Amino acid sequence: MKLTSKKTITIFCPVTLPLKSGAGINAFNLAKEFLKLDYNVRVVSFRRDDHRVYDNIEGIDIVRIPYSDNIIMKLLAFFIIIPIFTYYLSKSNLAIVFGPLQGYMSLFISGKVLRKKVVFRSTMYGVDDLSSLNNKFGSNLYKLRKKINGLMGGYISQSIAMTKSFTNEYNTSIPVFESPQGVDTVKFKPISDFEKSAIKETLNINIDKKTKIILSVGYVIERKGYREIFDSLAKFENEDFLYIVIGKYQVNEDEYMIHEHENMQKLHMHGKNLLKNKIFFTGECNNPEVYYKIADLFILNSKKEGMPNVLLEAMASSLPVIVTSLPGVDNYITKNNVNALVLDGNQTLSAALSLFFKNQTLLFQMAENARKFIHENYNFTIYTKKLLKKFTK
């Protein structure tokens, strides 16, 4: 992995491709944008499955540090992680840390010692915003954690809520960049009915033109709210629809989500038994954008999320969206009855689905508002240039 004299950006994240996770996908997409702008880019992550330690994917160097969930191995791993983190940080002009991966605070300390800018990016409000991180182990460690986290060279906030959490902890000169992650608006955009028909044929989705395609994207786990979606859709057995779920519903023994395997299987079977031929599980998918292009409705029913990629992608694709109320997302990205139907306690999922089946005109206008909002504000190229302007000279 020989690098040239171009400036180098290193992204540290807990998971990277080919494994699919929100933070990992965000990190890799950002790396691709840096590459387009003529930076050397590497991603340093953990080797959770049987993937190569050193890799190159789409021109981006990948380093995977051996990792185990065993508590003893976790403790021993610090003697490997910290020297590797420090080495790659020393070779970087800018480092971006995606969430509180193991050993992340060592990067802030090393950044100060080596005079390297280390920028931290929170992934989920209420979990790794700065107030949550500093208070993670109670008052006894609060001051120490606050001091070490305060050594970061910059902060990437995905919402007003995350920014407020940060400024409540640090009234300092640490630069803050507030924006949801960007969206590839070339890949995620609406298409013509003719193109939709061609894609359906390619995917072997043989349904009537009047059949509505409802889409969700994400691991088939309870946190994503699939059980309620299955139960709610079952109430509309007289409606003509196909519910497509993109995401893993089973995992192998050596995969990092093995602890969810049994519950995923039960949830998958619950959906199949309840909706029968009205549901289709794709499993993991490398080109989810094609399903966004043919869908008529997108549902995100998660109980907890950061800034969901899938929501932004659906909105960019001009899909009507039904989404749960999410701190940091409500009234920042989603505006109820303007660009999305937000399940804020006053409206149930079943009621929102009923509206979808009965009032296509209203939802079409929301979808157009959503597309315009994302394309004008969160184009990935614009996002990346603004980020670089904030954290590089």
Per-residue pLDDT of the chain (393 residues; tens, 9 = 90+): 444 568 999 999 998 888 877 788 889 999 999 999 999 999 999 987 777 889 999 999 999 998 766 676 666 667 889 999 999 999 999 999 999 999 999 999 999 999 999 999 999 999 999 999 999 999 999 999 999 999 999 999 999 999 999 999 997 789 999 999 889 999 999 999 999 999 999 999 999 989 999 999 999 999 999 999 999 999 999 999 999 999 999 877 556 677 788 999 999 999 999 999 999 999 989 899 999 999 999 999 998 888 899 999 999 999 999 999 998 899 999 999 999 999 987 789 999 999 999 987 888 899 999 999 999 989 999 999 999 999 997
- The CATH number of residue 366's host domain is 3.40.50.2000
3 domain residue, yes or no: no
235/372 same-domain check: yes
187 domain residue, yes or no: no
267 domain residue, yes or no: yes
CB 239 within 8 A of CB 357: yes
Cα(21)–Cα(33) distance, rounded to whole angstroms?
18
162 domain residue, yes or no: yes
215/343 same-domain check: yes
83 domain residue, yes or no: yes
CB 143 within 8 A of CB 106: no
Domain that residue 266 falls in: 193-377
343 domain residue, yes or no: yes
31/178 same-domain check: yes
20/166 same-domain check: yes
- Total tally of structural domains belonging to the chain: 2
90/120 same-domain check: yes
1 domain residue, yes or no: no
139 domain residue, yes or no: yes
229/138 same-domain check: no
101/239 same-domain check: no
Q: Are strands 297-300 and 176-178 parallel, antiparallel or unpaired?
A: unpaired
Paired tokens of 221: 């786990």
168/214 same-domain check: no
Q: What angle do CA 38, 40, 43 make, to 5 degrees?
A: 130
Paired tokens of 134: 């500093």
Output the pTM of the full model: 0.86
36/121 same-domain check: yes
239/314 same-domain check: yes
258/358 same-domain check: yes
Count CB-CB contacts under 10 A for residue 24: 21
202/145 same-domain check: no
